[in-house]
Structure formats: C-alpha cells, structure tokens
Amino acid sequence: ASLEERCNRILRDMEGSLTARDRVGIQDFVLLDAYTSESAVLDNLRKRFNENLIYTYIGTLLVSVNPYKELGIYTKKQMDIYMGVNFFELPPHIYALADNVYRTMLTETNNHFILISGESGAGKTEASKKILQFYAVSCPSTKLLDNVRDRLLLSNPVLEAFGNAKTLKNDNSSRFGKYMDIQFDHMGGAVGGHILSYLLEKSRVVHQNHGERSFHIFYQLVEGGEEDLLRWLGLERNCQCYSYLVQGECAKVSSVNDKSDWKTVRKALSVIEFSESNIESLFAIIASVLHLGNVTFVADSQGYATLNNSPEIHWLSKLLGIPAQVIQVGLTHRKIEARSEEVLSPFTVDQAVYAKDALAKAIYGRTFTWLVNELNESLANKDSSRKTVIGLLDIYGFEVFSVNSFEQFCINYCNEKLQQLFIQLTLKSEQEEYEMEGIEWESVPYFNNKIICDLVEAKFKGIISVLDEECLRPGEATDMTFLEKLEEKMGGHAHFVTHKLADQKTRKTLERGDFRLLHYAGEVTYKIFHLQVMRQSKNAIVKHCFPSTEPDSKKRPETVATQFKSSLVGLTEILMSKEPWYVRCMKPNEGKKPGLFDDVLVRHQVKYLGLMEHLRVRRAGFAYRRRYEIFLQRYKPLCPDTWPNWKGTAAEGVECLVKHLGYKPDEYKMGRTKIFIRHPRTLFATEDAFEVCKHELATRIQAKYKGYRVKGDYMRQRQAATKIETCWRGMKARREREKRAWAVKVIKRFIKGFMTRNQPACVDNTEYLAFVRQNYLTRLKENLPKTVVDKNTWLTPPPIMQEASQMLRKLYTRHMVRRYVQGIMTERKAQLQIKGLTSSIFKGTKENYPHSVGIPFVDTRISKPHTFPQYSVPVVKYDRNGFRPRFRQLIYTGSAAYLVEEAKIKQRVEFNNLKGVSVSTLSDNFLILHVQCEDIKQKGDLVLQCDYLFEALTKLCLVANKHNFIKVVQGSVKFDIQPGREGFVDFKSGQETMIYRAKNGHLMVVSMKLKTVWPFNSQNEQIHFLNYY
C-alpha cells in the first residue's frame, strides 16, 4: 500500500504540473525539458520570484526563495485551502507539503521527516515554523492536545532566545542545527515532541564578528529583566558594561525588540512548566557568563596570570554556588594529572584568558543542552501507545566562505551525509518501483557522493579518524603534522587536494596550510584545523557545575569531530527509518532586500543545495509514469479505437492509444500496471492534443448533457405529475366510496326507520323519528300561517306529530290573536264589541247580515247631526195604512227613538215602550218596531226600511240597553197598525227587490236571494271583518 501510495503521489505530481505549466514558469522542475541546464532552472526561479511565486517543486521537493517581505500567503484561509487537498492541485506551497506529509503519515501509518536546508537567512527556520503552525491549526483539537500544541509552538521562542543570534546574514540566525519530532496519535492529534540539537556555535558567546551579536537571551535579560532580578544577578541594565556583548559593536538591532522578546520567553518558560527555581538557576548561569566575561587578569612578576580582587568573582561564586577560592584557582591554573597526583600549573595571562573563554563556552553549551532536555521533558508524551512522527530538520546547508574552518567542515560533512541519505532513499524507491513493474533497471547518470562521505568518515582512513589520532597521540602534534598525515593517507583520492598534491594549475589557488574537498555540491577549501580546539577541555569549574554529566575520565576522550560524527550517524539512523521530504531554502540576495534576485548568488545556491543533482536523480530513467487505467481514462478521446469505451484490458488500450499517437519505441515502456514515459515533451505533446480535443469533446458533452438534463427534468416532472394525478384520483375515489358507503348506511337506516316508524321507540326508528320531527318542525317554522283566518296553510303533521301539531296550532293561534289584540286601538275595540253584539243577534238568522259585517258602524248617519248625540240614521217609513214610503230620520236619544221629518218629530217611541223589533230572515232591510200601545191616540208599530239595518239595530240595543228584543222572523211579521188593528208584512225572496201592497192588504217585501253563504263561526267573522281594513 505504501508503494502504491507513493506511485500515486508521483502521478498526482505530474498531473498537477501539467495543468499548471501554462502559469508563470513551471511549477515543477521535473517537467523542465532542459533539466540539466542550471540556467533553465535559474530562469524559471527568477520568473516565478518576480511574480512573488516563491515556491516551486522538484517532484515532492519544495524549493523556496526568501521573499524578504510579507506575502499574505500564510493566513488561516490559506491553511484551509491547502487542508486535505491533493498535493498538486494547488500552486506549490509549504502548506501543501505539510498537509501531504501529514495525510501520508495518517494513511500509511509510518514515520516521515522534512529536511529543511539552505544557507543562513534563506528562510529555514521560518519554513519550519510555518509547518508547525499549519499543524497547530489543522490537527484535531482537544484541551489536552491544545496544551501539547502550545508547548510545541512555545518551545520555539525559548530555543530561539538561547540558540539564535544576529549575524550579518540574518538578524535571527539559528546558531545550532535542530531536529524536532512531532508525535501524532492514530487520530492525527499532535501528542508530543522531541528536540535534538546539533553543533551549537558556542564560540559566539565569547566572540562576535563586527556587526553581529551574541545569543539573544543575554540582551533580552539585560534589556528586559525585572529590576529585582537584575539586582539579584548583580547586573546593570546596560549591554555596554559586558565585554562579551560588545564584541560586534552592535548590541542594539532595529529589527529585534529585546524587551518584548524577554516577556515572550518568560511566558513561554512558564507555559512549558519550568519551575521557578529552575528559571532562577538558568538566569544565574546566563548572568555568570556575563560576569565571567568581565574578569580580567594581570601578570605577576613571573608573568603568570593573577586576578585582582575583582567583584566578578564574588558574583560568580554566588550565582554558580562555588567557593570563590575554587574559582580563583580554576581560572588561573591548569590541573595536570601525573600518575595518581594532581599538579597545578599556573597559566600565563593569555592562557588564562583562553581558559576563561573556554569555560564560558562550556557553561553556555551545557546550559543549552540542559535547556533542550528540559523542553523534551515537557514535550514528552508518556503514553506508550503507538505513535507516528513527523520530524523537522532545520539545519544549515552547504557553507562556503573565503576562509572555511572546522565548523564549515562539519556543516558540509553533514550535508554530504544528507545528500547520501537522499540518494539512497530516492533511488531505492525508484528501483523498487521498476522491479515491481518488471522494467529493466537502467543505471542512472548521477553522481553518488558516498565516496566523499567515506573520505570524511571512514574508519582508520577517513579525515576524522586521522584527526582523532593526531589529537590523542602523545607527543607534539601540530596543525602541520596533521596536514601531512592527511596528505599521506588521502593522497590520490579524487576529492581531496592540498597544495602539495595539486597539479600546477590548481596549486595556484591553494595556500600551503589549506586542504580542499570536492564536495558533491562543489569545491570547498578549508584552513587546517587548530588541534587545540579539537581537544575536549577539562575544567574544574565545569566539573563543579555539571558533575554528573562529565564523561568518564578513564575512557579515551572523544574529539569534537568524533562527537559530531557519531551524532550524525545517530541522525542518519533516525532519518533512514522515515520517509523523506525536502524543503530547500534560498535567499535571492545578500542584502535581505525584497524583490531583488541576484543571479550569481542564486546560481551558487542552486549548486550548493544540490538541486541539479536532485533533479537529475528524479529524472533518471522515466520522467513520467501512470497506471494504465488512469492514463487510458484521461487520453482515450485521442484515439477513435479507445473512444468512448475500450473493450479490452487497460494495458491493451494504452498500447493501442500510444501507437495511434505515434510514440517511438524508446520513448516509453510498458510495465505491469503502468506506462513509463521517458521525456516530458512526449507527454506535453499528448497533453496539448488532449487540450484541443477536450474543447471539442466538451462542447459535445455539454450539448448531450444539456439534452440529458432537460429530458431528465421533463421525465421527472411527468412522473411527478402522474404520481400526483394517481394520488389525487385515488383519494377522490376513496372519498367517493366512503361517501357512498355512508349514504347506503344512512339510507338503510332511513328505510328501516321508515318501516318501523309506527312502532314504539326503538333503536331502529329513533333516529328516523327524530329526523321526521325535526324536519316537520323546520318546515312548519318556514310555513306558518300569516293570519288567524288563514286556515288551510297549517302544515299537515306526520302521524307522530299529530298531538304536538294540534297543541302548537292552538298555541300559535292564541299567539297570533294575542298579538293582534294587543295591536288594536280602543276605538276599534269598541267598534268590534258592537259588531260582536250585532253578530250575536243576527248571525245565522238574517240573510243579509254578512254584508253588513264589513261596514263599520258610525255614530250618526245624518249629515247635520242634531243635538241628539246617540245615533241617527235615514230610514224609509211605510205608512201603516196603505204602506206609502216616506223618508224619515230615525234618531236615538238616551231614552227614546224618534222618527223625524226635517226637524219635525213625527213619532216618539220611549224605549220603555219598545216591546221588540222584528226583522225578516231574508236580505231586505226592513225592521218593524213593536211599540207598547195603551192609548188609541198613540200611533202603532213602525215599519221601517233602513240601509244600515244592522247598525241601527245594534245601536238601538246599546242605547236602549235591551237585549234579546230583536226577533228574526221567517215569513211574515204581524204588527199593530193601531191598538187592536193588525197589519202584516210578508217577506219573500225573488228575482228583484220589490216592495208593494199586496192584494191581501199585506206589505210584500221581496228581496234578492244573496248567494254568499257565510261558513265562518263567530270568531272568524270578526277576523274577516278586520281584514277589510
């Protein structure tokens, strides 16, 4: 799986570069056709640098050019963009590399390291910080993990304070090599860390070149330290007071703020959980170095160094906890072990100064080591579960100065080792892939620097071996004897030259005391090392300070070189077990200026960083490889046989495709699962063809796709419509069915109810009957009779409502009557009462009575009413003899009725004397007043005809206060003409009204038969009458 992933990585690498190659320059040098040309590489770097594109790949190696300005490409947003995205899909970036390493580690659960190299000031430390920051943001976060993350991040300012200094090249130059492990759990959370430091430049403590400073921490302490602390340490707040701080004559640097850096460091120290007592001791030692620097010696009479009772000794004694006496002796004497005895031999002033400086360096060096150990203690993850790590190696690249000393030798040796590591790891993986694919391994034309490594480190034969021997050899070893030894041993080695060994031409460039190594990155000429420096100093004071760490004195002491060699071997072991990733940093100019690209300087770095070698190894063999499936998938549109689908195996498809494209046989090889293409240009041609083809295809696919989409939409809509329709119909049908079922039930119940309606109340008929009742009552409500006389409109009730109907009808009638009665006026009431009386007299007796009902009664019928107020009406009086009609007025007073002719009373009838009144049953208007006649002089009964018969008679009843004296007589009425003499009025019906004296001497009254028959009872008559109004 790991190999597979690696292959994929390479593939992605290619693809990304292909699509991006049209941008500024190319993003990946592997695809540079002129990959052996330094100028082409340089051109590409320059082109990109001018567009602020500081990153470029060589495969998975990242080349970074220091922009010396803020580019705004390290924001949280940028981090998000690069998180979890395929390496080559985005422009090259340090985050892409960091993310890719992290993801590979998680998927392959193996260990990785990122080697960051470059000259001082090229941006290595910045790059490593960027990587750390990226992990701090992108890794999973919990409270616990955040704590680790903070410690990891804060270990940086602490290490930088103690290990960085301002140099001419870099205001914050790391003066040590640093390897930092970040440990991750299986979920990708950062759970711990470990730091290894290499080659701290201790000499800086006692000496700085002009324009440079000692380590930051000294200045931070003096500038930023709290008053109390400084007093306790015996320090002044003035860097000028300390000779170790003013060697370079630039204690102040504009780009560095010592005061605020001090605060950062103090805060970091407490977060990392340094105890207060440890912090105190730490600064006591730092202060003691400053005091030591101010110690001066004077020569005594014999020329030996003595201390004049300087206050520094007091402070040193206090801060280091060593008796002043021991310090005094230690600083001025060398201890010589002779057999079992220790002999003190005094120093000259020069020797004492040298010893003092050596002491300061040793103290500082060991303090730094202690600090790193403390940091490791704090970063350590005590959990024993399996972890994977990403190592960050921030170490100087090749250093070449006009004068190169032992330090440069170590650094360059280190780079030589790292190059060897790279070759081994890269070639190994290449070879593995070739073997897997069954492709013949072709030897690659690159330079293997193993020979140089051997030259330096080989046992017994290597430079370091020789050096050790010379240092430890008893007797007088000098620098020159060392050189001679080297010449003796290395003579003839292709990569080693000295003045003596060199040919005529080369000799001119070499001093006698120099030797030259031909490193893989170029030649470097070293000054022969001072053996004095190589030897490990043994100092009584150091022993006091660091008793337990002092190496076993019985053991053969190691030289600095051997120590370094073994630490490098250790480092190589650490790295060999991990997957390598590379960041190569470069600086564009020496002046720390933005936007300035110094061709000479960059060309120099391209060379010394081994970029060309790296590129060559990367390009050895085949530049491009890709799984058949993927290759076919991408390029199949280029061949009619493979487009749109290839039926056979992918390998056959690819074969067919490349034949069609015209690949030459030596341009590619078919592996087991992959095609290998030798030159990028072959691939570019294919890619260009694909680019053209893609546009055509895109248009076609677009059209197809659009059609497909539209059709799809249409189908979906239609389906949806059908579905909705079906659902709707179903629902309607269900509702209809429910309604029908319900109706059937209701109808059934109705029929059953109907059939059982006459049975006593039971389950079957209650509902029906309730319905019938309600229905009847509702209908009745809407169809109530409007008036009392309206007899036919009362709704016929169903049988069960018979009784209720009757009661209701009665109630309602009464209600109507009451309403009516309440509504009528007093006059009307009186009128009606009179009419009632009339009715009681004549109803059913006299034929023309009904006609009178509708005509209201008045109080007088005479136009000019007399003083008699009661009643008056015109009448026709028939003579008792001869029955001649005469017009008269009949007037009632309170006591009598008068028959009057134009104000002349013809007859007066006392009501007391009124015996009765006779009328016929027929339609005539005759009335006969029967009068009591005791006196002959008195006139007899009155035969009268009155148009207002009923009125007149009713009034009479009222006025005379007589009841039952009106007789309705059938046939003829007998009356008294005179007392004792009778007359008759005969009544009969006929065709026309006639009144005449019949032959028998009777008055014959013929009245017309009235057709109207009155069916009403008395009540109705009244109502009927009322309706006339």
Ligand X SMILES: Nc1ncnc2c1ncn2[C@@H]1O[C@H](COP(=O)(O)OP(=O)(O)O)[C@@H](O)[C@H]1O
Q: Which residues are annotated as a binding site for ATP?
A: 118-125
- The reply to whether 852 sits near ligand X by the rule CB under 6 A is no
Q: Rule CB under 5 A: which residues touch Mg ion?
A: 124-125, 174
Identify whether the C-beta of residue 49 lies closer than 8 Å to the C-beta of residue 594.
Answer: no
Select from 67-75, 519-527, 703-711, 908-916 the region that touches ligand X (CB under 6 A). 67-75
Nearest-angstrom CA–CA distance, 1007 and 370: 160
Nearer to ligand X by Cβ, of 400 and 463: the residue is 400
> CB under 6 A: which stretch of 62-70, 478-486, 788-796, 1020-1028 binds ligand X?
62-70
Element (H or E) spanning 493, and its range? Answer: none
Alpha helix segments (H runs only) across 521-559: 531-534, 540-545
Q: Which is nearer to ligand X, 192 or 610 (CB)?
A: 610
- Tell the smallest beta-carbon distance from residue 73 to ligand X (Å): 8
Nearer to Mg ion, 124 or 204 (CB): 124
Partner whose binding site includes residue 126, from ligand X, Mg ion, none (CB under 5 to 8 Å by kind):
ligand X
User: Which of ligand X, Mg ion, none does residue 67 bind to, with CB < 5 to 8 Å depending on kind?
Assistant: ligand X
Q: Is 126 in the site for ligand X (CB under 6 A)?
A: yes
The region of 167-175, 612-620, 712-720, 963-971 touching ligand X under the rule CB under 6 A is 167-175
Provide the minimum distance between the beta carbon of 230 and ligand X in the complex, in angstroms, as a whole number.
29
CB 7, min distance to Mg ion, A? 34
Residue 123 interacts with, from Mg ion, ligand X, none (CB under 5-8 Å by kind): ligand X
- Looking only at the bridges linking them, the beta strands covering 981-990 and 341-346 are unpaired
> Which residues, 580 to 599, sit near ligand X by CB under 6 A?
585
Q: Does 173 bind ligand X (CB under 6 A)?
A: yes
Distance in angstroms (rounded) separating the CA atoms of residues 712 and 826? 93
Which of Mg ion, ligand X, none interacts with 921 (beta carbon under 5 to 8 A by kind)?
A: none
User: Which of 31, 60, 81 shows the shortest CA–CA distance to 677?
Assistant: 31
Compute CA 770 distance to the chain's CA centroid, rounded to the nearest angstrom: 65
Q: Which of 150, 133, 122 is nearest to 75 (CA)?
A: 133
* Residue 124 lies near ligand X (rule: CB under 6 A): yes
Site stretch for ligand X (CB under 6 A), options 166-174, 175-183, 480-488, 708-716: 166-174
Please choose, from the candidates 25, 895, 17, the residue with its C-alpha nearest in 3D space to the C-alpha of residue 9. Answer: 17
Output the DSSP codes for 989-1017: EESS-EEEE-TTSPEEEEEEPP-------
DSSP assignment of 610-622 equals THHHHHHHHHSS-
**What's the closest the beta carbon of residue 125 comes to Mg ion, in angstroms?**
3
Q: Residue 121 or residue 580: which is nearer to Mg ion going by CB? A: 121
Nearer Cβ to ligand X (392/891): 392
Place of tokens 């949280």: 76
Is 586:603 a contact under the CB 8 Å cutoff?
no
By a kind-dependent CB cut-off of 5 to 8 A, residue 580 interacts, out of ligand X, Mg ion, none, with none
What lies within 8 Å, CB to CB, of 965 at 6+ separation is: 914, 915, 916, 917, 957
- Interatomic CA distance for residues 641 and 40, integer angstroms: 39
**β-bridge partners, 705:** none
- Helix (H) or strand (E) holding 645, with range, is none
> Please, what is the minimum distance in Å from the beta carbon of residue 118 to ligand X?
5
**Residue 602 corresponds to which tokens in the numbers above?**
């960059």
Examine residue 68 and tell whether it contacts ligand X (CB under 6 A).
yes
Q: Are 865 and 872 in contact (CB under 8 A)?
A: yes
Binding of residue 673 to ligand X (CB under 6 A): no
Per rule CB under 6 A, is residue 973 in the interface with ligand X? no
Task: Name the residue nearer to ligand X (CB basis): 133 or 173.
Answer: 173
Among the listed ranges 121-129, 852-860, 917-925, 958-966, the one in contact with ligand X (CB under 6 A) is: 121-129
The answer to whether residue 612 forms part of the interface with ligand X (CB under 6 A) is no
Binds ligand X (CB under 6 A): choice among 111, 120, 682, 805: 120
- The least CB distance from residue 283 to Mg ion, in Å, is 24
Which residue's CB is nearer to Mg ion, number 172 or number 243?
172
Q: Does residue 67 touch ligand X according to CB under 6 A?
A: yes
Q: Which is nearer to ligand X, 126 or 258 (CB)?
A: 126
From Mg ion, ligand X, none, interface partner of 239 (C-beta below 5 to 8 A by class)? none
Q: Please return the burial class of 338, using the count of CB atoms within 10 Å of its CB with bins 0-12, 13-18 and 19+.
A: exposed
Strand partners, 988: 1006
122-130, 418-426, 517-525, 534-542 -> range binding ligand X (CB under 6 A): 122-130
Among 17, 44, 156, 170, binds ligand X (CB under 6 A): 170
CB of 264 to Mg ion, least distance (A): 17
Contacts of 184 (CB under 8 A, 6+ apart): 102, 105, 106, 139, 190, 191, 387, 388, 389, 390
Min dist CB 155 to ligand X, Å, is 16
DSSP secondary structure letters along 558-605? PPHHHHHHHHHHHHHHHHHTSEEEEEEEE-S-TT--TT---HHHHHHH
Q: Is 118 in the site for ligand X (CB under 6 A)?
A: yes
CA pair distance 501, 494, nearest whole angstrom: 11
By the rule CB under 6 A, 123 interacts with ligand X: yes
- Kindly state whether residue 131 participates in binding ligand X, applying the rule CB under 6 A: no
The interface with ligand X within residues 729-768 (CB under 6 A) comprises none
Q: Closer CB to Mg ion, residue 203 or residue 913?
A: 203
How distant, in Å, are the alpha carbons of 90, 166, 520, 680, 795 from that of 17? 10, 39, 29, 11, 103
Which CB sits closer to ligand X, 70 or 228?
A: 70
Q: Which residue is nearest to ligand X (CB)?
A: 123
Q: Is 125 in the site for ligand X (CB under 6 A)?
A: yes
Number of residues that bind ligand X (CB under 6 A): 18
State which residue, 172 or 369, has the beta carbon closest to ligand X. 172
C-alpha 982/C-alpha 942 separation (Å) is 12
Q: Which does 797 bind (CB under 5 to 8 A by kind): Mg ion, ligand X, none?
A: none
Angstrom distance (rounded) from CA 170 to CA 68: 11
Matching residue, tokens 């006593």 = 760
**Residue 121 in the binding site for ligand X (CB under 6 A):** yes
Question: Which phi-psi region, left, alpha or beta, contains residue 343 (left: φ > 0; alpha: ψ -120 to 50)?
Answer: beta
CB of 162 to ligand X, least distance (A): 15
Q: How far is the CB of 209 from ligand X (least distance, A)?
A: 16
The residues annotated with a catalytic role in the active site are 120-121, 125, 170, 173-174, 397, 399
In the sheet that 668-670 helps form, which strands lie side by side, from edge to edge? 624-627, 674-677, 668-670
Give the integer Cα–Cα distance in Å for 283 and 276.
11
907: left (phi over 0), alpha (psi -120 to 50) or beta: beta
The minimum distance between CB 164 and Mg ion, in angstroms, equals 7
The annotation places the binding site at 118-125
Q: What secondary structure, in 3-state letters, does 457-469 show?
A: HCCCCCHHHHHHH
Q: 15: Cβ–Cβ under 8 A, 6 or more apart, which residues?
A: 88
| Contact indicator for 63, 55 with CB cutoff of 8 Å | yes
Could you list the residues that contact ligand X (CB under 6 A)?
A: 66-68, 70-71, 118, 120-126, 170, 172-174, 585
